[in-house]
Amino acid sequence: MSHSLTVEAPRRSPLRTTLTALGAVAVVATYAFLIVSQPADVANGPTAASALVALTGFGIAMVLLFAGILPTLPTTTLALIPVALVLNIVLGQFVGSTLVPIYLDSIGTVLVGFLAGSAAGAATGLLSTLVWSFFNPTVLPFAAGAAAIGALAGLAARFGVVRRFYLVPIAGVVTGFVAAAISAPIAVIVFGGTATGATGAVIALFRAAGQNLVQSVTTGAFTSDLPDKLVTFSVAAALAYALPRRSTQRFEFVRRHRVLAGPKQAAAGRPDGEAAPAA
Amino acid sequence: MTRPEAGPAALASSGRTASGRLNPLTGLVLAGSGAVACLAWASWGTWAAVLAAALVVAAKARILRRVVAAASVVVVPFAVWALVIHGLFFPEGRTVLVVVGPARVTSEGLAYAGAIILRTASLVVVMLAFSLWVRVPTLRAALVRRGVPAQLGYVLASALGLAAAVGERLRRIREAQEARGLVVRKGPGGRILAARLQVVPLVLQLVDEAGERAAALEARGNALPGRRSSYVDEPDSQLQRVLRWTLACVCAVVVASVVVPAVAGVLAGAAR
C-alpha cells in the first residue's frame, strides 16, 4: 500500500525492541512474585499487597508493550485489530452467557496472531482487554494472559502450525496451558478465586471436595482453558482458511512465512504493506 | 476467569452524555485513585466509601441509572457465584452456621465472600462510572495530545464504534440466512450450524472492510510519525491540572508504599 508520496511507517528499532523485552520481563517478574507470595494469605480475605503488585506489574508491562509494539504495526494490521476486538467481545459474550466451560473470547486475538504475527497478536490481546474493560472492568487484570495467547498464536503460525491443520489443536492446548497458568493466580489474588458460569461450578466442586482455594482455581482454570483454546485455535484457523486469498495475502507475515497451506505466492518476501495480487 | 455479559450498546451512547467541564484525564485520574484506594487499603470501610463516592458522582453526572444497570450485569452474577463458592464451600471455615448435604455454611466463608464482592463491586462501579461518563473522542484527543501513540486512539475509538454496530449487522445476516431457509434446529449440532452460518459471513465482511479501511488510512498518512492536529475541544483548567498531578503523585506514593515492601519481603525470603 505504500507509495512514493508517503514516508515509511516507523519500523522496529533497538529502543522499541528493548521496551517490548522489558514489558515481557515485567510480565514474568510479576507472575513470579504472585507464585512465590500467594499461598500465605489468600484464604484470609483480600489483602492489599498481592492485588496491587499484580495490577501494578501488569499495568507497567502493558504500557511498555504498547510503547514497543503499537507504533511498529503496519496499517493493514492496525485496521484488523478493532475487528478482532469486536469478535472477541461478541463471541465471548454469547458463550459467556451459557453454561459451557469455555469462553471463546480470544478468537479475534488468535486470528490476528495467525495473520500478522506474535507482536500484533500480543497487542491485540492487550487492546482487547483494555476495550472490553470499558464494559466489564473485571477482565482488566487478565491482560497479560490475553497478550500471551496472541503472542503464542503468532508463534505457532510462524512455525507452520496453521499450514499443517492437524497441529492446530495441539498448539491450542499448549496455549491453553500457558493461559491457565497465568490466569489462575490472578483470579485467586484479585477476585478471591471467584469465577462465574461453568468454571465457577468446577471451583465449587473442588472446594466441596476439600481442596484449597489455589488448587481449586487452578484446576478450574485448566478445565476451562485447555478445551477453550483448542476450540478457539481450530475455529480461528478455519476462519483464516475461509477468508478470500486477497484478504489474507495482504499480510506480509502470511506471505513471508507461508502461514496458510496452498500454492506458494510469487509475492512472498515483498516489503511490508505491499499487497500481493488478488488470487 | 470472570466473563462479561454487559453489552457495548450502553457505552456507545456514552458519547451523548454531558461530560461537563471536566477534562477526561481528570476523570481518569479520579477513577484510578478510587481503584488504588480500594486495592491499597483492604477494609470494608474503604470499599464502602469508594462505592458510595462513585455512586454520588454518577448521580451528579446523571448517569446513575446506567452505571447501576451496567454494574449489575457484572456484579450480580459475580456475587451469586462468590456466595456459592465461598459461602457454601469454605473448608478453612471454623464457625459452622448451617450444614446441608455437602454444603457447609461458615461465618468465615460468608465474610470472605462479602469482602470479595464489596471490593469487586467498588472497583467495577468506579471504572464503569468513568467509562459511561467519558466522551471517547475527547479522551482520544486528550491522550494523543499528550504523546500516546495515535494508533491506540484509533483502535479504541474504532473498536467501540464497531462493537456498538455489530449487533445490527448480525441481525441483518441472520435475517438474510433465514430468507435463504435457515432454521435453527434443537440440539447443539443445529445451534453450531446456525452460529457458523452467521459468524462466517460476519467475519468475512469485517475483515474485508478492514482491508479497505487500511488503504484509506494509509492514503491519509496514518502510519506517518509526528504530532496529530485535533479539532475536538478538550475542557481543562489550571485547577484540574494541579488536581490531576497531585492525585497521580499521591497514588504513586501509595502504590510504592505497598508494593516495594511486599516485593522486598519476597526477595528477602527468597535470598534466605
Tell me the three cell numbers of residue B73.
450485569
Lowest mean pLDDT among A68-77, B29-38, B219-228: B219-228
Domain limits for position A128:
14-39+46-256
What pLDDT band is residue B207 in, cutting at 50, 70 and 90? Answer: confident
Residue A269 has pLDDT above 70, yes or no: no
Cα separation, B93 vs B107, whole angstroms: 7
**Cβ contact (<8 Å) for B262 and A50?**
yes
Is A222 contained in some domain?
A: yes
- To the nearest whole number, what is the mean pLDDT of chain B? 83
**Cβ contact (<8 Å) for A92 and B3?**
yes
User: Any chain B CB within 8 A of the CB of A242?
Assistant: yes
Judgement on whether residues B108 and B158 belong to the same structural domain of the protein:
no
Is B261 contained in some domain?
A: no
Residue B59 has pLDDT above 70, yes or no: yes
For residue A276, the model assigns a pLDDT of 42
For residue B3, the model assigns a pLDDT of 42
Cα separation, B60 vs A173, whole angstroms: 49
Count helices and strands in chain B by DSSP H and E runs = 9, 2
Percent of chain B as helix, strand, coil, to the nearest 5: 75, 5, 25
Instruction: Using the 3D structure, point to which of B101, B124, B147 is the last residue of a domain.
Output: B147
Tell me the three cell numbers of residue B39.
486495592
| Cβ neighbours around A13 below 10 Å, total | 12
Is B39 contained in some domain?
A: yes
**Cβ contact (<8 Å) for B224 and A7?**
yes
Judgement on whether residues B140 and B155 belong to the same structural domain of the protein:
no
| Cβ neighbours around A144 below 10 Å, total | 30
Judgement on whether residues B29 and B132 belong to the same structural domain of the protein:
yes
Nearest residue to A72 via CA among A141, A115, A132, A8? A8
> CB-side exposure of B246: number of CA atoms within 13 Å?
6
Is B225 contained in some domain?
A: no
Top mean pLDDT of B3-12, B36-45, B93-102 is at B36-45
Give the closest of A75, A81, A208 to B89, CB-based.
Answer: A208
The per-residue pLDDT for range B8-35, each reduced to its tens digit, is 544 544 444 445 688 999 999 999 999 9
Judgement on whether residues B108 and B185 belong to the same structural domain of the protein:
no
What pLDDT band is residue B233 in, cutting at 50, 70 and 90? Answer: confident
Is B255 contained in some domain?
A: no
Residue B197 has pLDDT above 60, yes or no: yes
Strand B103-106 and strand B96-100: pairing?
A: antiparallel
Give the closest of A82, A139, A194 to B116, CB-based.
Answer: A194
Task: Pick the residue from chain A with its C-alpha nearest to B124.
Answer: A137
ipTM: 0.79
Instruction: Using the 3D structure, point to which of B99, B132, B147 is the last residue of a domain.
Output: B147
User: Any chain B CB within 8 A of the CB of A2?
Assistant: yes
For residue A278, the model assigns a pLDDT of 39
Domain limits for position B163:
149-220
Give the closest of B41, B115, B120 to A48, CB-based.
Answer: B41
Contact in structure between A221 and A199 (CB atoms under 8 Å): yes
For residue B152, the model assigns a pLDDT of 81
Query: Which residue in this structure is represented by grid cell 503472542?
Result: A151
Judgement on whether residues B127 and B111 belong to the same structural domain of the protein:
yes
Judgement on whether residues B76 and B18 belong to the same structural domain of the protein:
yes
Interface probe, candidates A52, A58, A105, chain B, greatest B C-beta count within 10 A: A52
For residue A150, the model assigns a pLDDT of 94
**Cβ contact (<8 Å) for A37 and B266?**
yes
Instruction: Using the 3D structure, point to which of B95, B116, B147 is the last residue of a domain.
Output: B147
Is A247 contained in some domain?
A: yes
Tell the burial category of A187 from Cβ atoms under 10 Å away from its Cβ (0-12, 13-18, 19+): buried
Is A275 contained in some domain?
A: no
Cα separation, B168 vs B180, whole angstroms: 19
Tell me the three cell numbers of residue A265.
505466492
Percent of chain A as helix, strand, coil, to the nearest 5: 70, 0, 30
Is A203 contained in some domain?
A: yes
Residue A7 has pLDDT above 60, yes or no: no
User: Any chain B CB within 8 A of the CB of A50?
Assistant: yes
Judgement on whether residues B39 and B142 belong to the same structural domain of the protein:
yes
Please tell me which residue, A94 or B214, carries the higher pLDDT value: B214
For residue A173, the model assigns a pLDDT of 95
Mean pLDDT on A211-226:
87
Residue type for position B167: G
Is A268 contained in some domain?
A: no
Judgement on whether residues B54 and B183 belong to the same structural domain of the protein:
no
Residue B68 has pLDDT above 90, yes or no: yes
For residue A9, the model assigns a pLDDT of 52
**Cβ contact (<8 Å) for B77 and A196?**
yes
Cα separation, A69 vs A45, whole angstroms: 37
What pLDDT band is residue B55 in, cutting at 50, 70 and 90? Answer: very high
In sequence order, the 6+-apart residues with CB closer than 8 A to the CB of A65 are A19, A20, A23, A24, A122, A123, A126, A147
What pLDDT band is residue B243 in, cutting at 50, 70 and 90? Answer: very high
Handedness of CA A166, A151, B211, B169 (dihedral sign): positive
What pLDDT band is residue A113 in, cutting at 50, 70 and 90? Answer: very high
Residue A196 main-chain phi, psi, to 5 deg:
-100, 170
Residue A236 has pLDDT above 50, yes or no: yes
Is B244 contained in some domain?
A: no
The per-residue pLDDT for range B116-142, each reduced to its tens digit, is 899 999 999 999 999 899 888 888 888
Task: Pick the residue from chain A with its C-alpha nearest to B208.
Answer: A247
Interface probe, candidates B1, B11, B110, chain A, greatest A C-beta count within 10 A: B1
Give the closest of B85, B119, B211 to A203, CB-based.
Answer: B85
**Cβ contact (<8 Å) for B127 and A133?**
yes
The per-residue pLDDT for range A157-183, each reduced to its tens digit, is 999 999 988 999 999 999 999 999 988
- Residue B99's SS3 state is strand
Give the closest of B90, B204, B223 to A242, CB-based.
Answer: B204
Judgement on whether residues B63 and B167 belong to the same structural domain of the protein:
no
Q: C-alpha B148: how far from its chain's center?
A: 20
- Total number of domains constituting chain A: 1
Handedness of CA A16, A21, A26, A31 (dihedral sign): positive
For residue B20, the model assigns a pLDDT of 64
- Total number of domains constituting chain B: 2
The H or E element containing residue B104 is: strand B103-106
Largest CA distance in chain A: 68
In Å, how far is A159's CA from the nearest CA of chain B?
24
Residue B270 has pLDDT above 80, yes or no: no
Is B29 contained in some domain?
A: yes
For residue B161, the model assigns a pLDDT of 78
Judgement on whether residues B128 and B159 belong to the same structural domain of the protein:
no
Cα separation, B11 vs A272, whole angstroms: 35
Is B252 contained in some domain?
A: no
For residue B50, the model assigns a pLDDT of 94
- Residue B51's SS3 state is helix
- Please report residues of A whose CB lies closer than 8 A to that of B224: 6-7, 9
